[in-house]
Amino acid sequence: MKNLYKATMYRIFKNIYYIGGCVIALVVTLAVTGGFYTFPFLVEKPEELRMIFVGAAMVLFFSMFPPLFINPDYIDGCIRNRIIAGYSQKQVYISHVLAQLSAMTIMFLCYLIGGIIGGASLNASSLATVIVLFVAVMSYTVLTATAAFRLKKIITSMLTTMLLFNLCFNMVLFGNAILSVLKDTAFKIGSVLYNVNALGQWFCLTGFVDDGVNPGAGIQILLSLIVIAAALIWGLSGLDKRDLN
């Protein structure tokens, strides 16, 4: 499987969409964090919060990139050739997930470098925030990579991942309104459900939510790990018995 992973990473490093995404992650984060270009509501905010605000763009990028990268492998017969060569579908799937996570990590580092150059500091508090965001984006990437691999057709896959992004975004919009009227136990349950969503965690980290919606870094990371586990179970379930046609 090591060779599968290396071959997939080689292709990612040659992908123009990915290279462009990394450049944009660095430049835009630098511009917004440093105040060279920002939104009116971020003008008086600290550099660390500006950097976190830009992080949502990576969730959008990894809604689109896995289908664009993985699904053409079904069209050109790449996955079938790997199965013929003796690899299992599970090995191919895991290599794709690991490659997407590696790509996400590199892009996150570009984003982080842009933020630091722009003036964001990494103290204990901001570092914890960055770690929560990283694990949240990681969970989302595993989910979209799994959807792309399982659904096979690029149009179906892209529609699914973009619908997922819109669902997550609308959960943030309407979730805040719903949580504002919930009390006690219902509020606690609602805040946990809100934070299952990677964008929900991101919005909590920006500080633009009501008090109590953020359950804490430990709970947020745990929820992200649960999403990763659920996505992997879906991805691996019955995979080697699946028809590639």
pLDDT single digits (tens) 215-236: 889 999 999 999 999 999 999 9
Give Dmax over CA atoms of the chain in angstroms: 58
Residue ranges of alpha helices (H) inside the chain are 2-13, 16-33, 47-54, 56-70, 72-75, 78-84, 89-117, 124-151, 154-179, 184-196, 198-206, 217-236
pTM score of the predicted model: 0.93
Could you read off the pLDDT of 193-212 as tens digits, one per residue? 999 999 999 999 998 887 78
Virtual torsion, Cα 13, 155, 158, 243, nearest 10 deg: -80
Q: Number of structural domains, the chain?
A: 1
The boundaries of the domain holding residue 78 are 2-241
pLDDT at 240 over 80: no
